[in-house]
Amino acid sequence: GEDVEQSLFLSVREGDSSVINCTYTDSSSTYLYWYKQEPGAGLQLLTYIFSNMDMKQDQRLTVLLNKKDKHLSLRIADTQTGDSAIYFCAEEGGTASKLTFGTGTRLQVTL
Amino acid sequence: DAGVIQSPRHEVTEMGQEVTLRCKPISGHDYLFWYRQTMMRGLELLIYFNNNVPIDDSGMPEDRFSAKMPNASFSTLKIQPSEPRDSAVYFCASSSLQGVGLSGYTFGSGTRLTVV
């Protein structure tokens, strides 16, 4: 079945890079996503990557996809306090339009 | 577009009472999802609709939970009777099949339910 796993917590200093990792199980996933959830808010789409790509860069965000190992990562360059949030990866599995979300990684940015 | 709109934002109710959560999806989106988020279980998919028809309700925890989508612009999630363990944040999300690869889901702000 579908399963998406993430580490629960990451702490980084302001200005450093953050790397949030995710592993998934469904090799048929077409798209993989990263969502951000700030306190008291819903999930907000940050970025996505198509499964035939290895990397996607969007300003401070870099997504790396290793399809062989079913590993997805999100790198945030120059991490700011406003980046403190929970980050969810998600895969679009075999059922069209149904996403499976990971457990979420809480990113804490310290001064 | 105002995005996915959920109401109420907060609901406090007594055990045994009926609770109704509401959702207005983005116009033109033909998929609607209900999720529940708790510290213990994370984000759980409860049910989703396509063109107003329930497709998969295997995540609905018990018969106390029911969801309807009478038209393309409105959905409800009802809990009757409510129990303290139902306390959670309930999210509604919508998407369109054509756009799912580009936009993923759009989430509402959630309803924080507390059952005392």
Q: Using the 8-state DSSP alphabet, how is residue B85 labeled?
A: G
- Strand spans (E) along A4-84: 4-6, 9-13, 18-24, 31-37, 43-50, 55-58, 61-66, 71-76
Q: What torsion, rounded to 10 degrees, do the Cα atoms B52, A46, A88, A27 define?
A: 80
In this complex, the residue of B31, B101, B105 whose CB is nearest that of residue A30 is: B101
pLDDT digits (tens, 9 = 90+) for B67-100: 999 999 999 999 999 999 999 999 999 988 665 5
Alpha carbon distance A1, A25 (integer Å): 8
Alpha carbon distance B43, B63 (integer Å): 20
- The two structure tokens encoding residue A73: 């990562």
Smallest Cα–Cα separation from A111: which of A77, A81, A85?
A81
Per CB-CB distance under 8 Å, the chain B contacts of A92 are 100-101
- Do residue B56 and residue A90 have CB atoms under 8 angstroms apart? no
Per DSSP, the three-state class of B73 is coil
In this complex, the residue of A41, A45, A103 whose CB is nearest that of residue B109 is: A41
Point out which residues pair with B82 in neighbouring strands.
none
- B99: exposed, middle or buried (C-beta count within 10 Å: 0-12, 13-18, 19+)? middle
Higher pLDDT, A30 or B56: B56
- The two structure tokens encoding residue B85: 């363990």
Q: What pLDDT, on the 0 to 100 scale, is given for residue B93?
A: 94
pLDDT band at B6 (very low <50, low <70, confident <90, very high): very high
Mutate to test the interface with A, among B55, B100, B109, B111 (most CBs of A within 10 A): B100
Of the candidate ranges A1-5, A56-60, B46-50, the one whose mean pLDDT is the lowest = A1-5
Q: Using the 8-state DSSP alphabet, how is residue A78 labeled?
A: S
